Amino acid sequence: MTSYTVINPATATPVTQIELASVEETDAAIERAQAAFPAWREVAPGERARLLRSFAAVVDAHLEELAQLEVVNSGHTIGNARWEAGNVRDVLNYYSAAPERLFGRQIPVPGGIDVTFHEPLGVVGVIVPWNFPMPIAGWGFVPALAAGNTVVLKPAEVTPLTAIRLGELALEAGLPEGVFTVIPGKGSVVGERFVTHPLVRKVCFTGSTEVGKRIMAGCAEQVKRVTLELGGKSANIVFADADIAKAAASAPYAVFDNAGQDCCARSRILVQRSAYDEFLGRLQTAVGGMKVIDPGDEDSEMGPLITDKQRDAVAGYLAGIEAAFTGPVPESDGFWLPPTVVLTDDTQAAVWREEIFGPVVAVMPFDDEDDAVRLANDTEYGLSGSIFTRDVGRALRVARSVEAGNLSVNSHSSVRYWTPFGGYKQSGLGRELGPDAPHAFTEEKNVFIAQD
């Protein structure tokens, strides 16, 4: 058996060792999940709802423990980590209302009645990336369980601690054995097996576009259901008529939160030319004032990168480029980089095109509304974006024209669990969260009953 040493990214010190599952152990867990499925799907809706609420209460009772685990494992600021643990609780509470409301339809037909059912798929495999280990796990496993599926979940190799704890808390809350199983391991072993094992009926994947394409291709072999939440290179569009002070003050947090390791990071800022100088001046002040300190400190606004490898990859984008300005960075052995702002007018530049997944933002001027929309859409990605303007008509036109799944006007809204979330183009396939998420974990069955 192989193991992985978890490293605290803020200090580069080892935290603990985690055993990594083999293919045989993964198969055994999938078979246990399959064995648990018939009984779980027969649990009465109200009882399944009660179990999910009980799970939420247990998560809430361990909120601080989960948050501290994430600070140590992932370098998330304690403020963010508490929000993330609270998000798992809230998602459990939200979808605890789903079992009793998984309505089918009654469709008028001659000679009898026609009704539809939303039936669970069986075993669902959830594959989670390292950037938001708790929320992204919950967005997959909670609606899947609510719809009557059993779940096997693979955390990212480098960030397994909170997922493992959530698996233990599920049992403490009374979920039957085998209904929700966390399997720490490598993507090439456990993740691949979710794709190839015929008992796994759906793969719910969040991660890079590159791996997502391979998963989609692998799932095609068995016509396996798949949801993909992939990368992004989202635009923050600031028109000259906007509240420039507000736009500039909020822009750093829209990209540097979680050290830029956020698929929704607004990593391209488009600023209308007449407001460009004012915006940049105010942005410099805002970036310079960020608190990039020990993530365990209550005041911390940005922590380290997840690994030395990720830090080096991000730094690679900056080699040979002169930053316009940077924010602070602590003296530390951990994997830190300062928030960094680069200016460009080259739409082919790597900093403008590629998802850097680190604390780097590129700023570019534009001339008019058409120009802004064209530049915003000049990307293979389409996950999120922001629009700052005081003109309501323009806000609406641009929001409808930008090819992305999640847009916010005069704000940088983070993901709300009760609204749908997902990407256009190569940012993903399908939607998570919102009122319809349980349907993504069901098959719709149509039944006709003759009256004579």
β-pairing, 200-206 vs 225-229, is parallel
- CB-nearer residue toward ligand NAP: 176 or 430: 430
116 token code pair? 């539809």
Distance CA 401, CA 223 (A): 33
Catalytically annotated residue among 157, 263, 301, 432: 263
In the annotation, is 263 catalytic?
A: yes
Residues in binding contact with ligand NAP, number by CB under 6 A: 31
Which 98-127 residues touch ligand NAP, going by CB under 6 A? 127
Q: How far is the CB of 381 from ligand NAP (least distance, A)?
A: 9
Strand pairing partners for 445? Answer: 117
Q: How far is the CB of 279 from ligand NAP (least distance, A)?
A: 26
**3-state SS class at 446:** strand
Binding mask 231-270 for ligand NAP (x = CB under 6 A): xx------------------------------x-------
Q: How far is the CB of 185 from ligand NAP (least distance, A)?
A: 7
Distance CA 350, CA 317 (A): 7
- CB-nearer residue toward ligand NAP: 136 or 364: 136
360 C-beta neighbours (distance < 10 Å), count:
25
- CB-nearer residue toward ligand NAP: 8 or 389: 8
Distance CA 226, CA 429 (A): 8
User: Is 211 among the residues that bind ligand NAP (CB under 6 A)?
Assistant: yes
For the chain, the C-alpha Rg in angstroms (whole number) is 23
Residue 290, φ and ψ in degrees, nearest 5: -70, 145
CB–CB of 26/185 below 8 Å? Answer: yes
3 burial (CB, 10 Å; 0-12 / 13-18 / 19+) is exposed
Q: Which of 109, 67, 108, 104 is nearest to 85 (CA)?
A: 67
Which 373-432 residues touch ligand NAP, going by CB under 6 A? 383, 423, 428
Which 146-175 residues touch ligand NAP, going by CB under 6 A? 154, 156-157
Q: How far is the CB of 438 from ligand NAP (least distance, A)?
A: 18
Q: How far is the CB of 254 from ligand NAP (least distance, A)?
A: 15
Q: Which of 265, 267, 236, 22 is nearest to 131 (CA)?
A: 265
Q: How far is the CB of 193 from ligand NAP (least distance, A)?
A: 8
User: Is 357 among the residues that bind ligand NAP (CB under 6 A)?
Assistant: yes
- CB-nearer residue toward ligand NAP: 283 or 302: 302
User: Is 131 among the residues that bind ligand NAP (CB under 6 A)?
Assistant: yes
- CB-nearer residue toward ligand NAP: 204 or 395: 204
Distance CA 99, CA 52 (A): 10
Distance CA 359, CA 180 (A): 35
Query: Interface with ligand NAP by CB under 6 A: which residues?
Result: 127-132, 136, 154, 156-157, 186-188, 191-192, 206-208, 211, 214-215, 229-232, 263, 355, 357, 383, 423, 428
